[in-house]
Structure 1
Amino acid sequence: MSIKKKGRLRRLIAVVAVAGLTAGLVPWGSSLAGKSSAFQVYAQTGNDRQLQDDFASAAREFKVPEEILLSVSYNVSLFEQHDGKPSVSGGYGLMHLTDVDPAKLRRNGKDEAARLTVKEVSQNPGLHTLKTAAALLGEGPERLKQDPRQNIRGAAALLAQYARQTTGEVPSEIGDWYGAVAKYSGSSEADVALDFADQVFDTINQGVERTT
């Protein structure tokens, strides 16, 4: 999977261009504001287009920019599915939908949530996005853990909900997704959430590439 700047792209086997937009996207005084770089989003999925189609389909269904979905996925999971198993911070799948076990977090001590009490973890919706996303789709959480397509759909539904909560609508301009992306971080600390959103938009503007 890769997200690359236009002008230094090269075609790879089973690599399909899916979007090209201009930058100057990020509000709130972000360090990215004022940058100007056209970009395109590419996804490499081996010998077929299934994963590419899954991102594109979820983007259309929930009206979330495809490059937002791809960049969020890169920044939360490096495009890794992990075969339905959780990350060390309790996230599942390509979109790192969370179902946090506070006891495990206290043991590994590597996550912000490890500093929280059991009650705080259980009551923090940002640490239980898997169940919220599953409910939005009318699917069981286990399916979102195991099925990459449903994992992506769940994240898209969640981002669309966050966009409505932060802007009152599903935005047509990509920069207006900044608040939704920040909320997707799951962090209750503003600096952490805004830094995550900056990273997502920086990935889109600068470009990355990773083969899984």
Structure 2
Amino acid sequence: MLPFPKKQSQTITFDSFSKKRVQENVLTLTQLQALCQTPSSIHLSYRHDKLLECVLLMGFLGLRVSEAINFPWQTIPVEDKQAFLVRGKGNKQRLVFNLLNHPYIAKKAKSDPEKDKWKSISRMAVWKYLQKQSQELNLSWKITPHTLRRSFASILHYDFHLEPPAIQQLLGHSQFQTTERYLKKDTRFLLNSLQRKGFLC
């Protein structure tokens, strides 16, 4: 008779638990709009303009921080829509759209990015800005660049009913399970489902 295997103990540290909690938080569309302020100049006359643009691109296009910092504003026509070409992890390309119809993104797409004064900004500058804005929004948790991608996915799915496979393509996830982890169920999921079925009118 085989010996009964010993149950392995799992050590859970406070740091790992805290990190997991932070990753699960998302912003509502209203909070995202309050966070993502429009730059004062479309050609990024000031360093702060470049910072604001990066945050806006992460929140309204679902870009990673590295993608937002180096965003080329390269557009490709897809049927009668305008898409942006993004080069992400592993040099993989994907298309993203201005699905939330942000006016700055629509306007900047028609301009010449070569005229931008500020071409780049550090990841740390973006991180520190988001930490500060967490306090401005009176949140009990800290916003990170990853929070914006999760929020973008959550808003598209729960507020606008976009299917998870489409969100997977927009975010550039190679594994569908990654997208599923982004889509944390919350009260919006329940209320929107009930409204679509006609239970809440």
TM-score, L = length of structure 1: 0.26
| Bigger relative contact order (CA 8 A; separation at least 6) | 1
Pick the structure with greater CA Rg.
2
